[in-house]
Structure 1
Amino acid sequence: MSTSALGPAAPRIPAELKVLIASAFIIAIGFGIVAPILPQYASDFGVSAFAVSAVVSAFGLFRLLFAPASGKLTQALGETPVYVIGLLIVAVSMIATAFAPNFELLLIFRALGGIGSTFFTVSAMTFLARKAPPRIRGRVSGAYASAFLIGNVAGPLLGSGLLVFGQRVPFLVYGGALVLAAGFVFIMLRGTRLEDRNNKDTRERATLAEAWAQTSYRAALTSAFANGWATFGVRNSIVPLFAASAFVGGGWVIDSSQLAGVALAVFAAGNVAVVLTLAKRSDEWGRRRPIMVGLTIAAVATGFLGLSPEPWVLLALSLIAGAGTGLIVPAQQAAVADIVGEGRNGGSVVSTFQMSQDLGGILGPLLAGFLVDYLDYAWAFGITGLIMLIGAAAWTAAPETLPSKTDSDP
């Protein structure tokens, strides 16, 4: 049967996006290295669970505060320069974190890292929305998410192993990885960087008012908030503390401090397994259904984490929660790209979406840390599961964003 009989072949992922995907993998390895260690590192300063959570929330708060600026900078300078600058800012903050002499400076260094993080995150999402052909947006989003997730599987395990060299070493390794990623993008996308710098952006801009008028965009903001609360907030702050404290002296095959890294790695493994196998299906099934199903699965698994009687139950629930999140992220990113539209500058639309996710990542750890201090872990995880269910409910009244075949590129 001829190709024409089957319809036009799907376009390939552009080379420029492959560079960004490779960079995402380098970043993710470094992030995965420090993720299970940071809460324990902060806790060693003798502070409460709420204070430890504030370290994660401060990072998210500065991402939120600088998200509008990142959108404007992306529109003014182009995606590539803002991406490289963001990576270098986070690299400096990580190296400073390694040598923080007290909790107050640790909090400041992590907060400053949030500025660079929002720079490279918003610029990358804008770049993906502009360059990804509509017919393969789900596949592109899935490939980008997979790069992060594969790194997040290996990173926590590597970070746990690096602990034998001291708690500072993982932060220095992450800082070095970010410098490598910045150099890689600077060299490989030099042509794009020069184009961004020398050519005025004449693309039509997708306005925030236009996006807000769509029910699907408001649903995306709600589900992004829920996902940020659970995945980028509570999971990176409370899960490591729970794993390190709830099973002390349990006689398991690894000690409790290493269990934190394994729990995050297992979550990432479930996440990447689903993304690699099902992410491209959002280009066939649509965006709405994977987001709703994924949030529901992740909500149930996360809600019961605090009741885990044994380490293996914690790991099993982490695996299921990761699988549910694997359905959410690619479909959600593709939905925002659909709303922006091909070839349009969506800096403000993307940055607002990112702000919603960051707001969840700020409030989630703070409330969860408060609940841990005054109630227990079961309450912290239970409320988190409820927030994710609210995110799923937001999509029940939202229309599908996947462009029709007539709107797709030929």
Structure 2
Amino acid sequence: MPSAAGTDQQTTNQPNRSPGTRDRFPLEIWILVACGFIIAVGFGILAPALPTFAASFDVGVTAVSLTISAFAFMRLVFAPASGKLVTRLGERRVYFWGLVIVAVATAVCGFAAEYWQLLLFRSLAGIGSTMFTVSGVAMLIRLSPPAMRGRASGLWATSFLLGNITGPLIGGGLVEISIRLPFLVYGVTVLLAAFVSLIFLRNSTQADRETEETPTAPMRIRDALRHKTYRAALASNFGNGWAVFGVRISLIPLFVVEVLRTGESMAGFSLAVFAAGNAAALLFSGRLADRIGRKPLALAGLLVSGGGTIWLGFTGSVEMFLAASLIAGVGSGMLSPPQSAVVADIIGNRGKGGPVLAGFQMAADVGAIIGPLVAGVLADTVSYGAAFGVTGLITLLAVIFWVPAPETLPKPTAAATVEPAASGKATELAPESGALFDAPEPPTGERLGGKPGQPDA
């Protein structure tokens, strides 16, 4: 297997391949994708059981919701620490132990005798979740050839999506046997993913490769924030978290019952339609992002997702509601691979970007926490149209950040200088690494968070 450095240099120095040329991912990426699918299946198995199990402790709706929010809150709080752990211990170790923490904490939830125990163990699972998410994406970035980062991000997202679709079908049957059984099965599936990663990545020269060849200090988030495209990715991920991971789950069931006057089963069907649109877009958006650039796909995804979300709040029939759900799902699927690829481009294969990845994840987590609160208040005091309208507007506002942002798709040559950005800085591709830097003129010879004598930042 060729070294990652050789892969980077070949991808960077050679022209874009023709459509007939077969591009191949390293085996390690397929291992990460398989583990992602297993993890997502387990999460889907747990989804139907968690609210019902929490309610069985004779607590109110707020307390039931808290078991879900506590997981997301701990992901948010522990994300910076996860980024630092990735830098100090390496992606593979943090990935493995993050999965082990999630597996054990969730399995123990099935034995909880009181509500506070369930809340505590779910919070611990949130810590493990952010550990394996940040480290997994870090490995995905480091192992992906620069010209295939969009496809790698799309493949990663598809594995989780398919797992989330498959899991609830299994979980619904397990709940009929025992309300505690899904927690145990989820723990076993995640533990399986942990040992799959341990076995197949343990002896991998690519997964264990360090950066001594070109030593660099870890990229700091304040350095990445100097890049307009990273700020754009944060804005779009915040909007995506607000709309997709927050408002969509919290408001759609209520909208279906109270406004459309249909059964709750229609809410599940609409979420399935959203997922179908998402999956359909993921099939082509990653490849297009690698061909025509990250920026066009991100802008198109924001416009389609924002427009579809606004339309949701003004639908008056089931048919229009499902059509809007499908369009919003397509928009989200178009957005996910290019914005993830942008973060990968900025970090580069040789860089250690745990804190930068943590910041990217936190943007979505903050949106997922704030979004349902704001939208809920608007739905109660104004209307559902206002709630979905503001949600769509938050997504569309990210366009303002993307329009002036420079393209980050690696160029065919090793150090090709592209058109100057609005700030008067030229965007250059660092040789072999695939990482982008805003180079002021004249250069100072100091790389972002790095050492003198390297490409200027």
TM-score w.r.t. structure 1 length?
0.85
From 117, 121, 136, the equivalent of 1:124 is 136
From 404, 407, 428, the equivalent of 1:400 is 407
Q: Tell me the distance in 2 between the aligned counterparts of 1:94 and 1:51.
A: 18
Deviation at 1:37, TM superposition (A): 5.5
Deviation at 1:93, TM superposition (A): 3.3
Matched, 1:239 2:252: yes
Please say which of residues 355-364 and 106-115 is displaced more in the overlay: 106-115
Please say which of residues 53-62 and 80-89 is displaced more in the overlay: 53-62
In structure 2, the residue matched to 1:288 is: 295
Deviation at 1:274, TM superposition (A): 1.0
Please say which of residues 162-171 and 125-134 is displaced more in the overlay: 162-171
Deviation at 1:115, TM superposition (A): 0.8
From 184, 192, 211, the equivalent of 2:224 is 211
Deviation at 1:370, TM superposition (A): 3.9
Q: Tell me the distance in 2 between the aligned counterparts of 1:160 and 1:246.
A: 25
Please say which of residues 331-340 and 37-46 is displaced more in the overlay: 37-46
Identity %: 47
Q: Tell me the distance in 2 between the aligned counterparts of 1:323 and 1:366.
A: 25
From 355, 359, 364, the equivalent of 1:348 is 355
Structure-2 change in CA distance of 1:248 and 1:169 (3 Å):
farther
Deviation at 1:203, TM superposition (A): 4.4
Matched, 1:360 2:367: yes
Structure-2 change in CA distance of 1:291 and 1:7 (3 Å):
closer
In structure 1, the residue matched to 2:3 is: none
Higher helix share: 1
CA offsets 1:73-131 (integer angstroms, 9 cap, x no match): 11111111111111122223333444555655544433322211110110011111111
Deviation at 1:282, TM superposition (A): 0.2
Whether contact under 8 Å (1:203, 1:345) holds in the other structure is: no
CA offsets 1:339-377 (integer angstroms, 9 cap, x no match): 111222111211111121211122123333444555554
In structure 1, the residue matched to 2:420 is: none
Whether contact under 8 Å (1:229, 1:364) holds in the other structure is: yes
Matched, 1:92 2:99: no
Aligned with 1:273: secondary structure?
Answer: helix
Matched, 1:382 2:389: yes
Structure-2 change in CA distance of 1:227 and 1:380 (3 Å):
same
Structure-2 change in CA distance of 1:96 and 1:248 (3 Å):
farther
The 5-angstrom pairing of residues 8-407 of structure 1 reads 9=21, 11-35=23-47, 38=50, 47-48=60-61, 53-100=65-112, 104-165=116-177, 167-192=179-204, 196=208, 203-204=215-216, 205-240=218-253, 242-243=255-256, 245-246=257-258, 250=262, 256=264, 258-372=265-379, 377-407=384-414
Q: Tell me the distance in 2 between the aligned counterparts of 1:202 and 1:347.
A: 18
Which one-letter code corresponds to 1:337 in the other structure?
A: A
Structure-2 change in CA distance of 1:378 and 1:89 (3 Å):
farther
Which one-letter code corresponds to 1:57 in the other structure?
A: S
Q: Tell me the distance in 2 between the aligned counterparts of 1:315 and 1:115.
A: 35
Deviation at 1:400, TM superposition (A): 0.9
Deviation at 1:62, TM superposition (A): 1.1
Deviation at 1:265, TM superposition (A): 2.7
Structure-2 change in CA distance of 1:219 and 1:22 (3 Å):
same
Whether contact under 8 Å (2:285, 2:338) holds in the other structure is: no
Whether contact under 8 Å (2:16, 2:412) holds in the other structure is: no
Deviation at 1:332, TM superposition (A): 0.8
Q: Tell me the distance in 2 between the aligned counterparts of 1:260 and 1:37.
A: 17
Whether contact under 8 Å (1:223, 1:388) holds in the other structure is: yes
Q: Tell me the distance in 2 between the aligned counterparts of 1:268 and 1:365.
A: 19
Aligned with 2:322: secondary structure?
Answer: helix
Deviation at 1:287, TM superposition (A): 0.8
Structure-2 change in CA distance of 1:140 and 1:107 (3 Å):
same
Deviation at 1:134, TM superposition (A): 0.6
Whether contact under 8 Å (1:11, 1:133) holds in the other structure is: no
Aligned with 1:327: secondary structure?
Answer: helix
Whichever of the two has the greater Rg, that structure is 2
Structure-2 change in CA distance of 1:169 and 1:51 (3 Å):
same
Aligned-CA RMSD value: 3.3
Deviation at 1:260, TM superposition (A): 4.1
Q: Tell me the distance in 2 between the aligned counterparts of 1:213 and 1:68.
A: 19
Q: Tell me the distance in 2 between the aligned counterparts of 1:237 and 1:91.
A: 26
Please say which of residues 342-351 and 332-341 is displaced more in the overlay: 342-351
Structure-2 change in CA distance of 1:241 and 1:6 (3 Å):
closer
Which one-letter code corresponds to 1:58 in the other structure?
A: A
Q: Tell me the distance in 1 between the aligned counterparts of 2:16 and 2:395.
A: 40
Whether contact under 8 Å (2:238, 2:365) holds in the other structure is: yes
Unaligned runs of 5+ in 1: none
Aligned with 2:349: secondary structure?
Answer: coil
Larger RCO, structure (CA 8 Å, separation 6 or more): 1
